[in-house]
Amino acid sequence: MNIVNKIALGTMSVMLVASFTQAQSLEDARRAVNAEQFQKAKSLFSNLVQAQSTPENYFYYGDLYLQLNMPDSAKTVFQKGIAADDKGKYTLNQIGLGTVNLFEKNEPAAQANFAKATEDMRKKDFLEYIYIGKAYTYAASRDLTKAFEWFEKAKENGEKDAELHIAMGNAYKAQNKNSEAVAEYQRAMNLKDNLLGVEVNIGEIWTQAFNFELAETNLKAVVAKDANYGPAYRALAENYYRWTSAAPTRRAEFLTKAKENYSKYLDLTDRSAESRYRYLIFLLNAGDYAGLEKTATEFINSSDFKKDYILARRFRGYAAIENNNTAVGIDALTKFVGEIDKSRIIADDYLYLGKAYQADKQDSLAIINYVKGYELDTTNNEVLVNIAKTYFSAKKYDLAAKYYDKLTKLPKASFVDWFYLGYSNYFHYAALVNKPSADPTEIKNTLLAADSAFTYVAEKAKNADAYLYLARVEYYLDPVTENDKVKAAFDKFVEITLAKETLTDANKRNLSEAYSSLGAYYIKTDKVKSKDYFEKALALSPDNQQIKDALAALKASK
C-alpha cells in the first residue's frame, strides 16, 4: 500500500470516527426526544452510553424513560449513571432515582435521594432544583405545589435559563393556568431560539381554551418552520378532534383532518412502538373509545407489545367498558391490575372495574372495586357516589348511609346526596325494627339522622318528597295522632304537591296518606276538618277500608 493510500485511509478513519461521534452526540439524542422520535432516541442513547458511558448521558437516557412512564427502565439506567460517576460529582442521576421513588409513591425515599443530590451544591447551582421540581410534574408523581417550591429555588440563580421557564410553563399548563403558562413559555423563547416544542405547547393551550382557530394558526406556523417536526402534527390532530365538539356540522371534515395529521405524526416518528402507544393516549383523550378498543387490541396482540407498554391494557379496558363490552373490559383491566406494579394503579382502574361489575349486576364485586378506588383517591367524588349508589341498590342501607354522609360533608354536596342520606337511614331503620335484637339507641339515632337529612332538603329545596318522608320519620319518632311536627310536614307536602300542574298516581297515593294523617290529627279537636280531610283521602283511594272506617266512626260519634 503506498503512502497516499495510507494517508487517505487514515483520513477516512478519522472522518468516520468524527462522523460516528457527531451522529451519537447527546444533543442529537435529546433532539430526537423533543421530536417524539422515541425509538430513534432510545437507539441513539443506547449507542451513546456504550461509546461514552458518562453519568450525563445516562441521566438523559433515564429521563427519556420517565417521560415514557417507564420507571423500572429509568431506574436501571439511573443506577448505571451513578455507577459511572467515579468522582461522585454528577448528582442528576440521584434526582432521577428520587423521581422513580415518587412514581412508586415512596416519598421518604425520594426526599432522601433529593437531599443527597443537593447537599454539596454550590451557591451558583440551580439545575438540580429544576429537575427536582420537574420530578413533581409527571402524571404519576404530580404535586405541582411542591414543583413550584423547587422552581422558586431555581429562579435565584437560574432566572436566565430557558429550561427553567419551560418547566414552569409545563407545570402551569398542567394546572390549566393558561396565561401564566404562556408567559413562562414567552420568557423561554426570549432566552433561546428555535423552541418548536414550546410553540407546540402554546398551540395546545389554545386548544385547551377552546380557541381552535388560534391553535390551528399557531401549530401550522410550527409546521411552516419545520415540516418534519412530528409533535406539531400530533397537536393539530388533537385540536381537530376537540374542534368537532364545538362545530358538529364540520365533524366529518375535522375528523378527516385529525386522522391525516396523526398519520403524518406516526410517519415522522417511524410508526415506532412508542408513537403507536402514544396514539392510544390520543384516542383516549379524544374520547374515541371505538377506535381505542380496536387499536389497543391490535397493539397488545402485536410483536411491539411488551411490559413497557402495559398501560395499553388499561386503555383497552377503559374503552371496552365505555363501549359496553363488559366482559372484555373486566378481563383487560383484571389482567392489568394483576400485572402492573401496585404503586402504579390509579383510582380510575378500580372505578372502571366497579362500573363494569355493576353493569354485569355483580354488586358485591362492584362495591369492592369502588371502595379500593376511593381508598386510593379520597378526593374522587365520582367513586364516592358510585359506592353509595351501589350499596343502596344492594339494600345495604347502613353502608349506603355511611357514604352518603361523606358526600354531604363535601363543599358541593347536592340535595340528592342529602335526600339519599335520609332515604338510606329511613330504610335502615325499617330493617332494624324487624330485628328482635336491635339496639333501641341505634334505632333512634338512625331515625334522627334521617330526620336531619330530610329536614335539610325540605327546608332548603322546598322538596315535596323530603316533606313526605320527614312526616313519616317524625311519626316514628313520636307515634301519636296529634303530632304537630307530622302535621306541619304533611301540610307543606300537600301545599307543594297541589301546586303541580298534573298529579301522577304516586302523587295521588301520597296525598291520600297525607290527608288521612291530617284527618286523624283533627279527629278529636275539629270533626268538620277531620271529615273533610278523610273525604279528600277517600276520593284519591276509594278502596281504602281504613279511610272508610274512619269516616264511619266520625259519623257515629255525632
Task: Give CA–CA dist 279/296, Å, rounded.
Answer: 9
Which pLDDT band holds residue 436 (cuts at 50, 70, 90)? confident
What is the rounded average pLDDT of the residues 228-249?
93
Element (H, E) at 68: none
| Average pLDDT over every residue of 539-547 | 93
% of the chain surpassing 70 pLDDT: 96
Going from the C-alpha of 42 to that of each of 29, 74, 96, 253, the distances in angstroms are 8, 12, 17, 36
d(CA 6, CA 377): 70
DSSP 272-297: -HHHHHHHHHHHHHHT-HHHHHHHHH
Q: In this predicted model, what pLDDT tens digit does every residue of 17-59 receive, in sequence order?
A: 344 444 469 999 999 999 999 989 999 999 999 999 999 999 9
Residue 9 has pLDDT above 50, yes or no: no
Mean pLDDT throughout 135-155? 95
Residue written as grid cell 325499617: 430
Question: 156, 126 in Cβ contact below 8 A?
Answer: yes
DSSP one-letter string for 325-348: -HHHHHHHHHHHHHHS-GGG--HH
pLDDT at 24: 65
Whether the pLDDT of residue 444 is over 60: the answer is yes
Q: Does residue 430 register a pLDDT over 90?
A: yes
For residue 12, pLDDT beyond 80? no
Tell me the pLDDT band of 239, cut-offs 50, 70 and 90. Answer: very high
Residue 213 CA to residue 410 CA, distance in Å, equals 38
Mean pLDDT of the chain: 91
Residue 380: its pLDDT value, please?
Answer: 84
Spatial contact of 399 and 384, defined as CB atoms under 8 Å apart: no
Chain segment 319-376, per-residue pLDDT in tens: 999 999 999 999 999 999 999 988 889 999 999 999 999 999 999 999 999 999 989 9
Helix (H/G/I), strand (E/B), else coil: 69: coil
Across residues 138-155, what is the average pLDDT?
Answer: 94
Task: Please compute the mean of the pLDDT values over residues 465-471 and round it to a whole number.
Answer: 97
